[in-house]
Structure 1
Amino acid sequence: MNMLEIKDLNVWFGHSHNRVNAVKGATFSVAEGESFGLVGESGSGKSTILRAITGLAGQWSGEISVNGMQLGKKREKSFYKTVQMVFQDPYASLHPRHSVDQVLGETLSLHGFRDLDARVVKLLDDVGLGQKFRFRYPHQLSGGQRQRVAIARALAPEPKLLLLDEPTSALDVSVQAEILNLLVDLRKDRGLTYVMVSHDLSVVGHMCDRLAVMKSGEIVEILNVAELRQLKAQHPYSQELLQASL
């Protein structure tokens, strides 16, 4: 079964002569339990696709289905128990005046969970932080620790699909591998499905089973990771990306 299906997705910003077509005719599917990458240069429409899925980009046409349910223009509360997103900048995505306990506790409460203390502790353990970080504030955490909190918050509703918007690009190189390995382990342990945006082909090669290459808002090619590693891209732009990454 497919966890995500995108058919002929168009996303735009502005109106009439000011309209910018950010995504044009994107079509792909992601199987349950799969990790799927979206790669391409800045401005190619990768993150815009994630924003359309979550409802953060309101102007779109086409079809988006999650776990067999076709989405309309508005997202029901139940949608966010199935789909969660991890953003690029872990500091900007956390409230500076909320402790880790508040961030996780409020998310759990919002989704109807009751045993908050035990769940907060379990989430912190699952992302490799532990109880000692429970009452700290974002400014007391490193970039990697903040991203672990952001991942814990995304896991709190027990979603099936995680959207990862360049989750390590704002972090030091030494920390990036730790976060990527954490995400690999969480996917395996929880049976999660990932859609991951990245401009780094080595990250996608490590994390994903298949990937779509985007250029100027369009998907120009879909490859599996074996084809990526063997440099078997067909489209000239995909070949350029591969050569640039070597």
Structure 2
Amino acid sequence: MSALTIEGLNVWFGEGREHVFAVRDLSLDVEEGASYGLVGESGSGKSTVLRAITGLVPTWRGSMSVMGEALGVGRTPAFYKTVQMVFQDPYASLHPRHTVDQVLSEVLKLHGFRDIDARIDQLLVDVGLGPGYRFRYPHQLSGGQRQRVAIARALAPDPRILLLDEPTSALDVSVQAEILNLLTDLRARHGLTYLMVSHDLGVVGHICERIAVMQSGEIVETLGVEEMRRLEAKHPYTQHLLDSSLRSARG
């Protein structure tokens, strides 16, 4: 079964002569339980796709469906129980004056959960923190710990799909692998489906089986991660990204 299907998606900003297309005629299909990557440089439109899915960008046409249900202009509470998003900057996405407890309690109450204390403790264990972090503020946490809290918040409604918007790019290199390993483990344990956006082929290759490469708002190539590792990309832009990734890895 398809968890997420997009057909002929166009997204634009502005009106009349001022409008600019950020995404053009994009189609993709993510099977339930799969991990799918969208890769491209800044301005390629990859994050705009996630914002269109979540309803943060209302100016789009085409068709999108989640777990077989077509998406319209607005998003229902049921949608946000099924789909959650992890943002790039964990410090910016967490309220600076709210403790971890407040952040997670708010989400759980919003979605109608009752056994909140037990759920918060379990969420913190799931993301590798534990109850000892429950009453800390964001400024008392490292970047990696803040991102773990952001992941716990996304997991709180017990979603089936996570949208991952550059979830490790704001972190130190030493911490990035820890978060990627955590995401891989959570997907296996909870049967999650991922759609992950990144500018880094190496990061996406760590947790995704299939990768779509975006340039100027369009998908120019789709390939499996094993094809990518064998450097079997056909499109010149994908080859450019691979070359850049290899040069970066060599230091």
* TM-score grouping bracket, smaller chain normalisation: over 0.9
1:85 is displaced (CA, Å) by 0.1
Flag as ranges the 4+ runs of structure 1 deviating above 3 A. Answer: none
CA distance in 2, matches of 1:208, 1:160: 16
1:37 aligns with 2:37: yes
1:224 aligns with 2:224: yes
CA distance in 2, matches of 1:107, 1:26: 32
Partner of 1:239: 239
1:205 is displaced (CA, Å) by 1.0
Written as runs of structure 1 = structure 2, the 5 A alignment for 1:135-146 is: 135-146=135-146
1:18 is displaced (CA, Å) by 1.2
CA distance in 1, matches of 2:129, 2:57: 33
Any idea what the Cα deviations from partners look like across 1:182-227, whole Å, max 9, x if unmatched? 0000000000000000111111111100010000000001101111
1:245 is displaced (CA, Å) by 1.3
CA distance in 1, matches of 2:225, 2:177: 18
| Matched residue type, 1:83 | V
Partner of 1:125: 125
Partner of 2:249: none
CA distance in 1, matches of 2:36, 2:203: 12
Partner of 1:96: 96
Written as runs of structure 1 = structure 2, the 5 A alignment for 1:170-189 is: 170-189=170-189
Computed over aligned residues only, the root mean square deviation of the Cα atoms, in angstroms, reads 0.5
* TM-score under structure 2 length normalisation: 0.97
| Matched residue type, 1:59 | T
Partner of 1:107: 107
1:80 is displaced (CA, Å) by 0.4
CA distance in 2, matches of 1:90, 1:238: 29
Partner of 1:60: 60
1:74 is displaced (CA, Å) by 0.2
| Matched residue type, 1:170 | A
CA distance in 2, matches of 1:206, 1:127: 18
1:174 is displaced (CA, Å) by 0.8
CA distance in 2, matches of 1:100, 1:205: 31
Any idea what the Cα deviations from partners look like across 1:131-152, whole Å, max 9, x if unmatched? 1100000111110000000000
CA distance in 1, matches of 2:139, 2:89: 13
What are structure 1's unaligned runs of at least 5 residues? none
Aligned length: 246
Partner of 1:196: 196
CA distance in 2, matches of 1:244, 1:131: 41
CA distance in 1, matches of 2:205, 2:131: 33
CA distance in 2, matches of 1:108, 1:57: 25
CA distance in 2, matches of 1:180, 1:55: 26
CA distance in 2, matches of 1:226, 1:106: 41
Partner of 1:166: 166
Written as runs of structure 1 = structure 2, the 5 A alignment for 1:67-82 is: 67-82=67-82
| Matched residue type, 1:55 | G
Partner of 2:16: 16
CA distance in 2, matches of 1:223, 1:30: 13
CA distance in 2, matches of 1:174, 1:233: 28
1:31 is displaced (CA, Å) by 0.3
Question: Which secondary structure does the structure 2 equivalent of 1:214 belong to?
Answer: strand
CA distance in 2, matches of 1:206, 1:151: 18
Question: Which secondary structure does the structure 2 equivalent of 1:41 belong to?
Answer: coil
